[in-house]
């Protein structure tokens, strides 16, 4: 087995754009769950509307890419309102069920045949991100050293996405250390106490849902810009569960929790992936076909979720006391 190769691949995926995209989406989820205590299981829905906001406005309507990003963000705000209005007054598990359902409904609508002219149906859309790559300031060539090198294109995507992650984390830190953030954390600890202080809990929850959703939409937009294509079926509920695993691994309720979680998670996923692949190639493992590695990986994420939440709910850098919240 080629350990060095495995580690090199894992490092590249840990700092690659996909890890950055997941970190960005998990920052939004951290706003929802880590700080406000909202059980959002439809974060992928925000990614979906964000990605399609960019793709549809550029590819179908020929608008500039910047406008596309704005439309993506606007769609996320709209989705947050749709989600929040019926459920934010109810018990937390209603929100969980509704979010997962709405994310699925959104996926079904975006892939539906009658919207084929706009969203491209099941085939999705392509060629909407040319403008993004034209802005690339790096002259073409390879950057880095030895095994850790990226093309100019990758470097540009990584710079922008990790830049967004940095800005997002900073914004989140400032928000949480503001009076607004104290109310939000108060809602997580004891909603009734906050209500008795005269705060409109519903409005605060809605604001939190919108802010987290916008981060999700940005992540979705960067995801599709990076891929240069979008298809509805890449936004399955599993993506949300990945985000939850990332958040819980890093530590919910911490500014850098989702970022650390994403880096570590993608490193581990890549390692297991390559190790499994090599073991199968050398016939050490015979009961798993190489086409089933994806399934094994999903199962491992499930195990990680189970073990983490039972034995270390605060994740790598979280505060255990902050995570002992309960649904009332």
Question: Does the protein bind another protein through residue 39 (CB under 8 A)?
Answer: yes
Question: Does the protein bind another protein through residue 60 (CB under 8 A)?
Answer: no
Alpha-carbon span 168 to 98, nearest angstrom: 26
40: left (phi over 0), alpha (psi -120 to 50) or beta: beta
> Of 60 and 238, which CB lies nearer to another protein in the complex structure?
238
Number of residues that bind another protein (CB under 8 A): 72
Alpha-carbon span 161 to 150, nearest angstrom: 15
> Of 179 and 219, which CB lies nearer to another protein in the complex structure?
219
* Among residues 60, 67, 74, 94, the one that binds another protein under rule CB under 8 A: 94
Collapsing DSSP to helix, strand or coil, 252 comes out as coil
Tally of CB atoms within 10 A around 137: 8
Question: Does the protein bind another protein through residue 288 (CB under 8 A)?
Answer: yes
Phi first, then psi, for residue 145 (nearest 5°) are -135, 140
Question: Does the protein bind another protein through residue 264 (CB under 8 A)?
Answer: no
> Of 102 and 125, which CB lies nearer to another protein in the complex structure?
102
Question: Does the protein bind another protein through residue 114 (CB under 8 A)?
Answer: yes
* Among residues 43, 227, 262, 314, the one that binds another protein under rule CB under 8 A: 227
> Of 135 and 311, which CB lies nearer to another protein in the complex structure?
311
Residue 271 beta carbon to another protein: minimum distance, rounded to whole angstroms: 13
Question: Does the protein bind another protein through residue 221 (CB under 8 A)?
Answer: no
Scanning the chain, the segments in alpha helix (DSSP H) are 3-15, 17-29, 43-55, 65-87, 92-110, 116-119, 130-134, 152-176, 179-189, 191-196, 201-227, 237-250, 257-281, 293-311
Question: Does the protein bind another protein through residue 86 (CB under 8 A)?
Answer: yes
Footprint of another protein on 120-159 (CB under 8 A): 122, 150, 154
Alpha-carbon span 16 to 268, nearest angstrom: 14
Footprint of another protein on 2-31 (CB under 8 A): 9, 12-13, 16-18
């Amino acid at each position: 087995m080629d350990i060095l190769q495995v580690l090199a691949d894992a490092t590249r995926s840990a700092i690659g754009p996909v890890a950055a995209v997941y970190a960005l989406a998990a920052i939004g989820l951290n706003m929802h769950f880590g700080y406000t205590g909202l059980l959002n299981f439809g974060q992928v829905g925000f990614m979906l509307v964000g990605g399609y906001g960019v793709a549809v406005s550029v590819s179908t309507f020929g608008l500039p890419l910047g406008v596309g990003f704005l439309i993506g963000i606007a769609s996320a705000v709209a989705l947050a309102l749709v989600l929040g209005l019926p459920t934010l007054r109810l018990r937390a598990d209603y929100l969980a069920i509704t979010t997962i359902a709405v994310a699925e409904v959104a996926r079904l609508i975006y892939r539906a045949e009658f919207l084929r002219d706009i969203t491209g149906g099941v085939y999705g859309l392509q060629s909407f991100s040319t403008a993004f790559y034209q802005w690339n300031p790096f002259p073409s060539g390879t950057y880095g050293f030895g095994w850790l090198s990226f093309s100019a294109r990758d470097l540009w995507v990584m710079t922008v996405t990790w830049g967004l992650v940095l800005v997002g984390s900073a914004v989140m830190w400032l928000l949480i250390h503001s009076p607004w953030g104290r109310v939000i954390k108060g809602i997580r600890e004891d909603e009734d106490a906050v209500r008795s202080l005269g705060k409109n809990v519903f409005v605060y929850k809605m604001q939190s849902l919108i802010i987290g959703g916008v981060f999700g939409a940005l992540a979705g937009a960067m995801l599709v810009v990076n891929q240069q294509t979008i298809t509805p079926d890449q936004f399955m509920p599993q993506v949300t569960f990945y985000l939850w695993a990332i958040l819980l691994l890093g530590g919910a309720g911490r500014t850098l929790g989702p970022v650390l979680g994403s880096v570590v998670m993608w490193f581990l996923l890549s390692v297991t992936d390559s190790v499994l692949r090599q073991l199968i190639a050398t016939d050490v493992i015979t009961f798993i076909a190489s086409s089933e590695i994806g399934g094994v990986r999903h199962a491992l994420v499930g195990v990680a979720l189970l073990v983490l939440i039972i034995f270390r709910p605060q994740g790598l850098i979280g505060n255990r006391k902050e995570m002992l919240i309960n649904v009332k």
